Amino acid sequence: MIEYPAQADAPHSHLPFSPCTRFGDLIFVSGQASVDSAGAIVTDTFEGEVRRSIDNLRRVLESAGSGLQYVVQTRNYVRDPADVAAFNRIYPEYFRPPFPARTTITNCLPEVLKYEIECVAVMPPALR
């Protein structure tokens, strides 16, 4: 059975997608960008947008009963290839070795966004 965990304090979007879905022990989180809880884009420096996006990802995961430490794969979208070095510096602050599987794509976002992240995670062992 596919579940759509409630996201009381997680950011919501006016676009037609679920922030996350859960199937068994797997959690799939839609792309999280630098947005506020109502889904309005918050422009910032690249670093600020990365941090806000990953914090939004964390909030969505927690609302589903998981957390960043249970992420098994991330997909990262960086608008400007020149920002990849900064991204590689910030990423280990949130994800620890052994790191999740990761894909990073550049030149792929609209002008209004500098960064976006999506992931696949699992439920914590105690909740399986």
Spatial separation of the C-alpha atoms in residues 108 and 81, rounded to whole Å: 10
Whether a cis peptide bond, with omega within 30° of 0, leads into 98 is: yes
**Neighbouring C-beta atoms of residue 19, cutoff 10 Å:** 24
**How many Å separate Cα 89 from the centre of its chain?**
17
For the chain, what are the domain ranges? 2-127
Q: Which residue reads 């422009």 in tokens?
A: 43
Q: pLDDT tens for the chain, 128 residues: list them.
A: 999 887 666 676 777 788 899 999 999 999 999 998 888 899 999 999 999 999 999 999 998 999 999 999 999 999 999 999 999 999 999 999 999 999 999 999 999 999 999 999 999 988 65
Nearest in space to 96 (alpha carbons), one of 117, 67, 63? 67
Spatial separation of the C-alpha atoms in residues 110 and 71, rounded to whole Å: 26
Nearest in space to 91 (alpha carbons), one of 103, 109, 79? 103
Spatial separation of the C-alpha atoms in residues 25 and 115, rounded to whole Å: 27
Average pLDDT taken over every residue of the chain:
92
H-only helix segments in 1-128: 46-63, 84-90
Which CATH architecture fits 2-127?
Answer: 2-Layer Sandwich (3.30)
Question: Do 115 and 79 touch, CB atoms closer than 8 A?
Answer: yes
